[in-house]
Structure 1
Amino acid sequence: MDDLVVQLKALAEPTRLRIASLLARGELTVSELVQVLGQSQPRVSRHLKLLTDAHLVERLPEGAYVFYRLVAGGPGHRLAGVIGELAPPDDPVLKRDLDRLDAVKAARAAAAEAYFKRAAEDWDRIRALHLSEDEVEAAMRDAAGSGPFDLMIDVGVGTGRILEVFADRVGEGIGVDVNHAMLNVARLNLERAGLTEASVRKADVSALPFDDHVADLVTVHQVLHYLDDPAIAIAECARVLKPGGVLLIADFAPHQLEFLKTEHAHRRLGFSDEEITDWVESAGLELRRRASLHPEKPETHLTVKIWAARRVSPRISRSPVRIKASSV
């Protein structure tokens, strides 16, 4: 009862009601809220602190940026969400807020699309080297199983596509990446897809910001070949899996396309079944399924491999793993 009183008091102020209404429509930074509300940054930050202390709003650091959103679950989420829905749309102050919010989101979308356009040429060239994404995604869904999965973590979220692929089987999806510009691309795509239960945050695969044994599904799609030490990434993904949870990896089989190293920053030219099996078993998982998607021209194109492993016990690792810095 005391917590509810604190939350009601936190919302019983016009600016904080406006903030709750805005955050009910998606994540925003302090600077974006300043633009919408027309108030100083210190004042907006003070209101956000009160809402955060009342467990109505949560703070998500992202490098030099900090995003705020309504808490992901519990009474605070329901209360703040209801307040956002009850806000009268014909109120002139709220209407002005929403008009400004549209302008802020349009500017964010323009920046995200500009970044995506710069990167898309490289991605298109790599995609042309293997089977269609539709075939890869269908194989990933098949390997993961039907779920349902309460919590999915997508490591190296990229455009957010894998969160979309599994949205019908997932209660909550969280994508992580180290690239702020890429996270904004994913935010834009998830918002356009109407996936309100999916979100993204900045994080390194070597230090995921989650407790042990919380995720039902962890996906790692075309990420391992960028890493200095893929074993570390797999061990960290295994750490956050629940007993019975699934780790799903999609990457390339061993190949000889050296230009991917020199021109596209690939650290590894694919992975064998043996090394993936060794890494997942060292992380306390059991490899359950693997699939190979072969191209029509194996001499010049890439075979995509899919591996699905399951945590069969709460154990983290059967042997120590050397830890060093790596990034998504």
Structure 2
Amino acid sequence: MDSEAVKEFFERVSGDWDDMRSSFYNADIIDALAERTQLGEVSTVADVGTGTGFVAAGLAGRAAAVIGVDNAPAMLAVARQSLDALGADNVTLIEGEIDALPLPDDSVDAAVANMVLHHAPDPAAMIAEMARVVRPGGRIAVTDEMAHEYEWMRTEQADLWLGFSPEQVADHFARSRLQEYGYASLGMQ
């Protein structure tokens, strides 16, 4: 499977994705991302691989602005409908690649990615891009990168990677321009 196949998968399941993802995580992930990035009312945050906008919607009430980036137009269409229904008018959605973010250098206070790293053609490049767009002193947070042996996720969830070991994650972060990085298990479903 390649990145184009991943995009085609998300185009196909966009209308069902919110139901599908609910079996993997709940709204607690939004609290964890906001806490890890120290999001505040004046913050601008990039939601990388925003999908149907679940995380963007949750962060909209905690930040001044949220920029959701995804390469699947159908996912962005679902996100726009959901965000409009919630009145989340501080969320901008942009079509773009997760490893070549269409944002200027140092343009956001934080960047988050939930259930995305295992879809990245080059996970280190995705993290480096997140680091590139974050202002000095800003933070990034990536969830759901734990290594697993669920081979079925390659076909049923379009995973390119079956997660990563803590050492691989550390290597991905070390290759970015981040000055400090850490790894923490949040103990969530």
**TM-score, normalised relative to structure 1:** 0.50
Matched residue SS, 1:200? strand
Q: Which of 77, 94, 119 does residue 184 from structure 1 map onto?
A: 77
Matched residue SS, 2:15? helix
Change (3 A) 1:120 1:157: closer
Gaps of 5+ in 2: 1-10
> Is the 2:149–2:162 contact (alpha carbons within 8 Å) kept by the matching residues of 1?
yes
Matched residue SS, 1:173? strand
Q: Which of 3, 15, 25 does residue 116 from structure 1 map onto?
A: 15
User: Is 1:147 aligned to residue 40 of structure 2?
Assistant: yes
User: Is 1:214 aligned to residue 113 of structure 2?
Assistant: no
Structure 1 vs Structure 2: percent identity of aligned residues?
Answer: 32
CA drift at 1:147: 2.5
CA drift at 1:226: 1.1
Which has more strand, going by share of residues? 1
CA drift at 1:289: 5.4
User: Is 1:269 aligned to residue 162 of structure 2?
Assistant: yes
Q: Distance in 1 between matches of 2:135 and 2:18?
A: 35
Gaps of 5+ in 1: 1-111, 296-328
> Is the 2:99–2:120 contact (alpha carbons within 8 Å) kept by the matching residues of 1?
no
Q: Which of 264, 269, 287 does residue 181 from structure 2 map onto?
A: 287
Task: Please list every run of at least 4 consecutive aligned residues from structure 1 whose deviation after the TM superposition is greater than 3 angstroms.
Answer: none
**Paired position in structure 2 for 1:95:** none
Matched residue SS, 2:27? helix
**Paired position in structure 1 for 2:8:** none
**TM-score, normalised relative to structure 2:** 0.84
Q: Distance in 1 between matches of 2:167 and 2:53?
A: 29
> Is the 1:163–1:198 contact (alpha carbons within 8 Å) kept by the matching residues of 2?
yes
User: Is 1:156 aligned to residue 49 of structure 2?
Assistant: yes
CA drift at 1:249: 0.5
Change (3 A) 1:217 1:120: closer
CA drift at 1:220: 0.8
Change (3 A) 1:258 1:289: closer
> 1:116 corresponds to which letter in structure 2?
G
> Is the 2:33–2:141 contact (alpha carbons within 8 Å) kept by the matching residues of 1?
yes
Change (3 A) 1:267 1:238: same
> Is the 1:149–1:216 contact (alpha carbons within 8 Å) kept by the matching residues of 2?
no
Q: Distance in 2 between matches of 1:207 and 1:283?
A: 14
Q: Which of 202, 223, 239 does residue 132 from structure 2 map onto?
A: 239
Q: How big is the alpha-carbon RMSD for the aligned residues of Structure 1 and Structure 2? A: 2.2
Q: Distance in 2 between matches of 1:198 and 1:294?
A: 26
Q: Distance in 2 between matches of 1:278 and 1:232?
A: 11
Q: Distance in 1 between matches of 2:95 and 2:167?
A: 31
**Paired position in structure 1 for 2:150:** 257
Matched residue SS, 1:191? helix
User: Is 1:225 aligned to residue 124 of structure 2?
Assistant: no
Change (3 A) 1:115 1:276: closer
